[in-house]
Amino acid sequence: MHTNKNGIIELKNKLAITAKGKEDVRRKLAIVAREKEDTRRKLEITAKQLAVTAKELAATAKEKEDVRRKLVVTAKALAVYTTGLEVKDIKRTAELVERVKELESLNKEMDTARAKERAILLSMGDGLFATDEKGNIIFINKKAEKLLGIQSEKVMGKAFSEIVQKEDEKGIPIPPEKRPINVALETGTVPVTPTVTAPYYYVRKNKTRFPVAITVTPIMLEKKIIGAIEVFRDITQEKATDRAKSEFISVASHQLKTPATAIKLLSERLLGGKMGKFTKKQQEYFEDIRSSNERMIELVNALLRVSRLELGAYVIRVQEKDPCAIVDDILTESKYMIAKKRLKLKLVSQKNHPMLSLDEHMFRMVINNLVTNAVNYTKEGGEIRVNCKVAKKGEVLGKKLLDKDYFVVTVADTGYGIPLAAQGKIFTKFFRADNARAKHTDGTGLGLYIVKSTLGYSGGQIWFTSRENKGSIFYVAIPMAGMKATTPKKESIG
């Protein structure tokens, strides 16, 4: 064996070894395979992990993208917004500028308007000044400065009464509380200021003075008096004209009455029989001359009364008088006239005669007028009733409700009456009803006008009731408080 055996053995060994080596290699291969498998697995895991990571990465990228996109959107929006903002701002600014411009121009306009207004007031042809509620000057125009001889800046804020003296016709100063501007501030009303007939005067610093026509009005704001405004005008010219007018009337009366008076005196001398006897016809003609002349005098007197009334020159002077006695006296004087027409006369007078302050001259004129009318416009044989009495407030007389106590004279007749159509005009100047014209041709149409006007001035009243062809009743009412006296407004020439 050895060699063989050995060789076999050896082969066997060698074979064994080779098998073993093969086993080893197999084993090694298996290990390698296993390692490979591990690696593969590991790789697989890694791949998986990578995939996850990739996914994650992808998600992140997406998110990022989203954020980016959002950012872009935001950015765009911001951009848009910003742009929008800019546009709005610009627009707004432009608008504001426009408004400011408008306001500026308005302001300018207002300034111009204000300046205009100021200029208007400043340059007004009449004197003008305004005061605050305390009577201190807040505005004075150029004409006022000029008329009064003062300077605006020196008088601002001062009381007007301290600066310029105001006085009446006679030179008596008007006390501050009676000055129209203070009356306006005190009462909030437009005070009645004297007119051309007896105006107030302003006295300049140099002691010269001028008559003024004044209009004062309170300045009201939300029902509160915040001041007063006075407009005044130099009426020297008007005064002169007015004076000329009254002088004319005075002179005209004298002129018109002088020849009438001469005729009156001459015809009276003739008719008195002192110049010898007349034939019947001569006597008749001279009577006619006298009565025509009397009519002329009457008419001139009536016209003068009217002009005096209209000039505000009618003066009412009151004295305590017994009106019943005056009425009685007038009727006694009218007896001849009444008897001539064979009229019946009845006087009813209350027993205890009241005393009344009245202008006797005027009262006589009124009653005389009514009695004469009653005689003239009543048929022969008719009746005239005169009644004097005190009537109480609330009493109804001739359809009129008395608003206070009056002394009432009633003159009633059974005459022609006043046609309904004429009743509204009976107190109108120069009006005469047709039936009156027909029955009595020589009336002036002035009597009742004068009566009503003068009574009106004195606070009295006149009214009537009448029926055509039945007669009329005239009522004259004088307040028991008396007639209102007027202060003479007019200076007349002597």
Among positions 361-390, residues that touch other proteins (CB under 8 A) are: 361
CA–CA gap between residue 466 and residue 414 (Å, rounded): 10
Distance in Å, CB of 302 to other proteins, minimum? 12
What is the DSSP track for 318-334?
A: -EEE-HHHHHHHHHHHT
- How many angstroms from the chain centroid is the CA of residue 471? 46
Asked if 202 interacts with other proteins (CB under 8 A), we say no
Asked if 260 interacts with other proteins (CB under 8 A), we say yes
Among the listed residues 142, 209, 257, 484, the single contact to other proteins using CB under 8 A:
257
CA–CA gap between residue 52 and residue 58 (Å, rounded): 9
| Closest to 338 in 3D by CA, of 382, 294, 295 | 382
What Rg, from alpha-carbon coordinates, does the chain have?
60
First to last CA, the chain: 208
Give the per-residue contact string, 224-253, with other proteins (x = CB under 8 A; - = no).
Answer: --------------------------xx-x
Distance in Å, CB of 240 to other proteins, minimum? 18
Asked if 304 interacts with other proteins (CB under 8 A), we say yes
Distance in Å, CB of 265 to other proteins, minimum? 4
Cβ contact 422:466 at 8 Å: no
Q: Which stretch binds other proteins (CB under 8 A): 34-42, 72-80, 133-141, 312-320?
A: 312-320
Distance in Å, CB of 107 to other proteins, minimum? 59
Distances from the Cα of 331 to the Cα of 77, 360, 387, 417, angstroms: 115, 15, 11, 21
Distance in Å, CB of 262 to other proteins, minimum? 4
Whichever of 41 and 254 has its CB closer to other proteins, that residue is 254
In degrees and rounded to multiples of 5, residue 392 shows phi and psi of -90, 155
Cβ contact 175:201 at 8 Å: no
Cβ contact 343:383 at 8 Å: yes
Give the per-residue contact string, 284-303, with other proteins (x = CB under 8 A; - = no).
Answer: -------------x--xx--
Q: Is the dihedral of CA 397, 481, 309, 167 positive or negative?
A: negative
Whichever of 107 and 261 has its CB closer to other proteins, that residue is 261
Distance in Å, CB of 190 to other proteins, minimum? 29
Cβ contact 249:311 at 8 Å: yes
Asked if 491 interacts with other proteins (CB under 8 A), we say yes
Among the listed residues 142, 209, 295, 317, the single contact to other proteins using CB under 8 A:
317
Return the amino acid letter for 18.
Answer: T
Binding footprint of other proteins, residue count (CB under 8 A): 31
Asked if 265 interacts with other proteins (CB under 8 A), we say yes
| Residues found near other proteins in the complex (CB under 8 A) | 250-251, 253-254, 257-258, 260-262, 264-266, 268-269, 272, 274, 297, 300-301, 304, 308, 314-315, 317, 361, 488, 490-494
